[in-house]
Structure 1
Amino acid sequence: RPQALEALEDFMASRLPLFGHWQDAMWTGEPLLYHARISAALNLKLLDPREAIAAAQQAWRQGAAPLPAVEGFIRQILGWREYVRGIYWSGMPGYLEHNALDAHLPLPAWYWSGETPMRCLREVIAQTLRTGYAHHIQRLMVTGLYALLLGVDPHQVHQWYLAVYVDAVEWVEAPNTIGMSQYADGGLMASKPYIASGRYIDGMSDYCRGCRFKPAQRTGADACPFTTLYWDFLDRHAGMLLANPRTAPQLRNLQRLPPDEREAIAHQAAELRKAARLNSPG
């Protein structure tokens, strides 16, 4: 409890003012950046969520933090965290069995070691195994995104998150993984699957610097696997994505590609899935 209060006070004094602007950023060797470091304390009930909210409100009233940063922080706790609680308890016990995208690939074995040539995944997984922590964009748009694009069984992704993160209490973790990250509940939690190519990671981090893969390249030996799998995901789930107003524009970008390029993308994506099967734990 004293350590939890110390962590809360440290965040309010040191990082809250810039939290709103930088909360989605990722940087090599910087696991926290401007994040709070209190998720485990909240989920293990060492901190009352109302304490964290009150501390942020006080920081704003005292002029120590701007409104956008304070609003973004409070929204994560009062808004998103309680929404997640409602999703879990209204959907259990069957919520864990959702697999709307019919994804059945095994989780690649390197999720347990970080031994992959993809620098972003290597960095985030190594950090996770070393500290038991990754912030929400590292989880959603690196480890979670790759599993989604590849077509990994969402229950295996859920089990991995539950095993590796110190803040992973199931009622918090499961909807964020099965619903938000893997879209396995078919849209009960989120209005669209959160999908992106390697360009997103390049824009939000320094991970692509020095990586052998090129985030702008869809096919070929240097193509970023995220980018190849992103375009393949669009093709494989075209009907669902075209019917969703939030993802239809992405589908139209796919439709502009010539048939031979789409075929090359599908072939390269199939090879990535084949490699994933060969590198699975059993």
Structure 2
Amino acid sequence: MKPRIILILGDQLSPDIAALREADKTRDIVLMAEVADEAGYVPHHPKKIAFLFAAMRKFAANLEADGWRMRYTKLDDPDNAGSISGEILRVCEATSAEECFATEPGEFRLITALEEMPIPVHQFPDDRFLCSHAEFDAWAEGRKELRMEYFYREMRRKTGLLMDGDKPEGGKWNYDHDNRKPPPGSIDTAPMHFTPDDVVEEVLDLVAARFDNNFGDLRPFWFATDIGQARRALSHFISHALPQFGDYQDAMMGGEKFLYHSILSMYLNAGLLTWHEICEAAAEAYAKGTAPLNAVEGFIRQIIGWREYMRGIYFREGPDYTQRNVLGHDRALPEFYWDGQTQMACMASAIDQTREEAYAHHIQRLMVTGNFALLAGIDPHAVHEWYLAVYADAYEWVEAPNVIGMSQFADGGIVGSKPYVSGGNYINKMSDYCKGCRYDVKVKTGEDGCPFNYLYWAFLHRHRDRFGKNPRMAQMYRTWMRMSDEKRSDTIDSAEAFLSRMSAGERV
């Protein structure tokens, strides 16, 4: 009987992945490959590439120790075909295999590539997720609005997490109102760091040589790169950061990169951790009284709520989702998204941190870099590709709906009922960025005024036909119309002057 190729991708590093469950150790060959196509379809952050290559190598070694026949192709292998499809065909030729088993990839780009292979490739559902495509579609069918909150409640009922019978623990489904404290005076914890071992060091040298021109600092490198380390990072978060996570999950501090966030999403999205073990650990902390309900609920909501919901949206909306642009924004992505050379302290801080760590938390992504891009009218596809490139946890199934839908409103309101936009006051309230900024957050117009202030009002003015009747935005439009003609004119002029300077390449 001829062997079959069992394909394992870099974000499928789970021992019980579907393709492995369908395989036969005595017959089949497991293929894993570091290929140029996957490392370079966007200019990925070097830390992301190093994390995945190191984790892949360790996972492959574990599979081989467990008795699987392995074919592992390193990036610098002279026979490397350069693509997943090419590697499948190369191994087929070398082994007489005529078919391939795969777990469904998380990007339509790769799903299509496997479908177009000249040999049969059987793609099995990725059941590491709580909600299947069919289950999400059944929930969405017939609904006028696909709001995450109602989907999240279904996932709570399905899992039993934080449930008291058929009622939510504590009497409320959502404790977001308690999770909006401004930044504290200091932070007394940090995510667990791991010293690179020989496998990681070898990968770091490879990435340094091949991707030295990519955006991002490769070293120091401290990520977990195997399941055991990822579980230690989870335990550390549950013990040291989860109790304060809820209170400060929306806060931002210039001198603190991580606050009380878990920094587990890269491990979860690559398969080193499961949603179940993470959520159970958090729920157990609440049951033991070591973490409050607002923290645990908010954390679990991000995983079985937002994460699962975003995946459902991505696969329901289809391959053209990343091209959506209902607002018609077409401004080029400013160069300072890559070099951090901007006088806006909030933007500089978020971008510099992203360059250093391949990480920024959800409010930095949504209400700083994403908010600015939306207010400035930047092409949402360019914004999408930037987020996909620079963050270690970014895969298209989760990144695209967060950017195209939630952050840029480019999908016309499928994800959000209104755009996530704000002036400088929100950033000032939730961070310490404004204290050292060249711009004055209290000034509304002119060269010294905070750009978020006048860009906010200019955005509302520009899109009044679309949002003017939105009940969630009515109060802001009433405020805009109560302004004097002169003040409105100054606001629009300030926005246009700023955007002109930005587009001309000036350091704004």
**TM-score band, normalised by shorter chain:** over 0.9
Aligned to 1:32: 258
User: 2-side partners of 1:119 and 1:4: how far apart?
Assistant: 33
Is the Cα–Cα contact under 8 Å of residues 16 and 36 in structure 1 kept in the other structure?
Answer: yes
Gaps of 5+ in 2: 1-226
> Structure 1, residues 64-109: CA drift from partner, whole Å, max 9, x if none?
1111111111111011111101100001211111101110000100
> Structure 1, residues 183-234: CA drift from partner, whole Å, max 9, x if none?
0001011111011000110000000002121112221221001111001111
Aligned to 2:138: none
User: 1-side partners of 2:339 and 2:232: how far apart?
Assistant: 32
User: 2-side partners of 1:163 and 1:277: how far apart?
Assistant: 22
Greater fraction strand: 2
Which region of structure 1 is more displaced relative to structure 2, 247-256 or 153-162? 247-256
Paired AA for residue 219 in structure 1: T
> Structure 1, residues 127-149: CA drift from partner, whole Å, max 9, x if none?
00011000000000000000000
Alpha-carbon shift at residue 278 of structure 1 (Å):
1.9
User: 1-side partners of 2:271 and 2:505: how far apart?
Assistant: 38
Aligned to 2:505: 279
Aligned to 1:154: 380
Aligned to 1:134: 360
Paired AA for residue 112 in structure 1: W
Alpha-carbon shift at residue 279 of structure 1 (Å):
2.4
Alpha-carbon shift at residue 6 of structure 1 (Å):
1.3
Aligned to 1:251: 477
User: 2-side partners of 1:223 and 1:143: how far apart?
Assistant: 18
Aligned to 1:73: 299
Paired AA for residue 3 in structure 1: Q
User: 2-side partners of 1:74 and 1:13: how far apart?
Assistant: 16
Is the Cα–Cα contact under 8 Å of residues 110 and 279 in structure 1 kept in the other structure?
Answer: no
* Residue 495 of structure 2 corresponds to residue 260 of structure 1: no
Paired AA for residue 382 in structure 2: Q
User: 2-side partners of 1:276 and 1:197: how far apart?
Assistant: 18
Aligned-residue sequence identity (percent) comes to 52
Gaps of 5+ in 1: none
Which region of structure 1 is more displaced relative to structure 2, 242-251 or 99-108? 242-251
User: 1-side partners of 2:348 and 2:254: how far apart?
Assistant: 10
User: 2-side partners of 1:278 and 1:109: how far apart?
Assistant: 11
Q: Which fold has the larger relative contact order, with Cα–Cα distance below 8 Å and residues 6 or more apart in sequence?
A: 1
- Secondary structure of the 1:17 match is helix
Alpha-carbon shift at residue 277 of structure 1 (Å):
2.0
User: 1-side partners of 2:268 and 2:473: how far apart?
Assistant: 34
Aligned to 2:240: 14
Relative to the length of structure 1, the TM-score reads 0.97
Greater fraction helix: 1
User: 2-side partners of 1:24 and 1:133: how far apart?
Assistant: 15
Aligned to 2:5: none
**Larger Rg computed on CA atoms:** 2
Match of 1:46 among 254, 272, 281: 272
Is the Cα–Cα contact under 8 Å of residues 107 and 276 in structure 1 kept in the other structure?
Answer: no
User: 2-side partners of 1:35 and 1:275: how far apart?
Assistant: 36
Alpha-carbon shift at residue 275 of structure 1 (Å):
2.2
Alpha-carbon shift at residue 260 of structure 1 (Å):
1.2
Is the Cα–Cα contact under 8 Å of residues 31 and 134 in structure 1 kept in the other structure?
Answer: yes
> Structure 1, residues 103-132: CA drift from partner, whole Å, max 9, x if none?
000010011011101111111100000110
User: 1-side partners of 2:468 and 2:246: how far apart?
Assistant: 32
Moved over 3 A (4+): none
Alpha-carbon shift at residue 274 of structure 1 (Å):
1.5
User: 2-side partners of 1:42 and 1:275: how far apart?
Assistant: 41
Q: How does 1:133-282 map to 2 (within 5 A)?
A: 133-279=359-505
Paired AA for residue 485 in structure 2: P
User: 2-side partners of 1:135 and 1:125: how far apart?
Assistant: 12
Paired AA for residue 25 in structure 1: A
Is the Cα–Cα contact under 8 Å of residues 447 and 494 in structure 2 kept in the other structure?
Answer: no
